[in-house]
Amino acid sequence: MNAGAASLPAPDQRRAFLIVLDSVGCGGAPDAAEFGDAGANTLAHIAQACAAGRADAGRSGPLHMPHMDALGLGAAIRLASNDDVPGLTATPQGLWGAAEEVSAGKDTPSGHWELAGVPVPWDWHYFPDTVPAFDDDLLAVIRAAAGTEGTLGNYHASGTEIIAREGAAHLRNGWPICYTSADSVFQIAAHEDHFGLDRLLRLCRDVAPHLHGMKVGRVIARPFIGTAEAGFTRTTNRRDYAIAPPAPTLLDWAQSAGRRTYGIGKIGDIFSGRGVDDLRKGDDAALMDHLEDLVADALPGSLTFANFVEFDSHYGHRRDVAGYARALEWFDARIGAVLARLRPGDLMILTADHGNDPTWRGSDHTRERVPVLGARGTPAPSEAIGIRGFADVAATVSTHLGLGPTGPGRSFL
C-alpha cells in the first residue's frame, strides 16, 4: 500500500469515484489493427492538432489540461503509445498509467462492463453498412410493435442527418425511423408530439428483448421535435435499453455489501438499471454539477460511477477536433475544483471506455488503450501503475472500499 494508507479511514467509511470520460483514449492498443485502427490516438492527435494551430475554433494554442496532466495524463499517453503529446508534459503527481481491454469490442457497454469487472464473453452483433441494414424478419418485429405498416431509414446514419432526411416523411405517415451505426445498436427516432414520446419509449422497450437476443448491445430511443420547414432537433429525452451484464458488476458488489451507489449520466442505461441506488442525469455541465454535489455529500463507504458522454457524442463521432479540445479543457478546469474537495480516504479514478479519434477516418469509435489517473483525498506519493487491464480498475475500487476480491482484475493499490 502507499505511504498515506496508515491515515485512511476504515474501508467501510472510504468513498470511491469512478469517472469515465467517454471515448478519451490514448492509442497503443496492441490489437488495434484487427479493428482497422492501427495508429489511432484520440488524445495525442488532438494535442498535436492544437499545437499545430489546427484546432483554434473557440480556443487557441496547445492543449491546456493542467489538472489532469499533473495527475499523469501526458505521461500515461506516452506510456500507452509513445506518441508525442505537446502541451502535456507535467511530472506526474498522482497514480497514473494506462489500461487495455480484452473484450472484443470498442463500444460503450464493453468498456464500462469491463471497467466494472465483467469482460464481455460474447461477440456483439453489428448490422451491415448496406441499404437496407436490417432484414425483413427484424423489420416485421418493429412494425408489429409500432402498429405501423412500414418503417423509414433502415441504414447506417448519424442521428441528426437521418431526422433531417426522413423527418418530413415520418410526419406524413407516422412510421418510425430505424437506423444504426458502426456500434452494436438499433436506434429508433420519432417525433415527440406526432408519434408520442411515451409510445416511442414503449416501442423501444418492447423490441429490446428481441434485439438483445441477437446480441445487439443497445436499443436507443431518439425523440425529436420540430417541423420540416423550420428543421428538426433531437431532445434530451433519449433512453437506452441495454442488454444486461452477464454477471454482477462493481455496482452490484458494492450494493450487495450495503454501500450506497450513485450513478451519473448514462450509467443507469449502460448497466440496465442494476446496482444503482441514486441516478442523476443531464448534459455534461449538469453532470459535473452532480459530481461536485456528490463529492461534497456522498455517504461514507459509497461508490459514485459517472459517464461524461459529450466527448464522444458531440465531438468524436462528428470528427470535430476543436470541439473535442474545448470539451477536454472545460472538463479539466472543472475537475480541478472537484479534486480539491476530496476527503481523507477518498479515491477518484479518471479513465475512459474506448477511443474516438476525431482525426481518424469515418465516424466510428477507435480501438485504443485508455489513461488511468488516480487522485486520493489523503496525500500519497506519485505511483506509476504501468499498463493494466480494464478489469483492474474494478479490482482497485473494490479493494479500496474493502469489498473483497471479486472479478478477474488485480488491484493496483
Q: What is the tens place of the pLDDT at every residue in 362-412?
A: 989 999 999 999 999 998 899 999 999 999 999 999 999 999 878 899 999
Here the cell at position 249 is 458488476
Instruction: Count the Cβ atoms, other than its own, within 10 Å of residue 210.
Output: 16
Does the annotation flag 312 for ligand binding? yes
* Residue 241 clears pLDDT 80, i.e. is over it: yes
pLDDT in tens, 298-329: 999 999 999 999 999 999 999 999 999 999 99
- Domain ranges in the chain are 11-121+246-401, 136-242
Cβ distance 268 to 279 under 8 Å?
yes
Cβ distance 63 to 88 under 8 Å?
yes
Here the cell at position 143 is 412494425
Q: Are strands 95-100 and 303-308 parallel, antiparallel or unpaired?
A: unpaired
The one-letter amino acid code at 102 reads V
Helical H segments across 23-89, by residue range: 42-51, 66-71, 73-81
Report pLDDT for 8: 76
| Fold assignment, 136-242 | Alpha-Beta Plaits (3.30.70)
Report pLDDT for 3: 42
* Residue 111 clears pLDDT 60, i.e. is over it: yes
Residue 84, classified by CB atoms within 10 Å of its CB into exposed (0-12), middle (13-18) or buried (19+), is middle
End-to-end Cα spacing for the chain:
6
Report pLDDT for 1: 38
Q: Sheet holding 370-376: strands in order across?
A: 278-280, 261-264, 303-308, 16-21, 347-351, 370-376, 95-100, 383-389
Residue 4: which pLDDT band, with cuts at 50, 70 and 90?
very low
Does the annotation flag 212 for ligand binding? no
Residue 361, classified by CB atoms within 10 Å of its CB into exposed (0-12), middle (13-18) or buried (19+), is exposed
pLDDT in tens, 250-275: 999 999 999 999 999 999 999 999 99
pLDDT in tens, 15-46: 999 999 999 999 999 999 999 999 999 999 99
Q: Dihedral of CA 34/37/43/44: which sign?
A: positive
Does the annotation flag 317 for ligand binding? yes
pLDDT in tens, 174-223: 999 999 998 899 999 999 999 999 999 999 999 999 999 999 999 999 99
Residue 11, classified by CB atoms within 10 Å of its CB into exposed (0-12), middle (13-18) or buried (19+), is middle
Q: 227 - beta bridge partners? A: 231
Does the annotation flag 67 for ligand binding? no
Residue 355 DSSP symbol: B
Give dist(CA 320, CA 18) in Å, integer.
26
Give dist(CA 57, CA 207) in Å, integer.
42
Of 311, 395, 381, the C-alpha closest to 349 is 395
Does the annotation flag 125 for ligand binding? no
* Residue 6 clears pLDDT 80, i.e. is over it: no
Cβ distance 308 to 265 under 8 Å?
yes
Task: Check whether the bond before 132 is cis (ω within 30° of 0).
Answer: yes
CATH class of 11-121+246-401: alpha beta
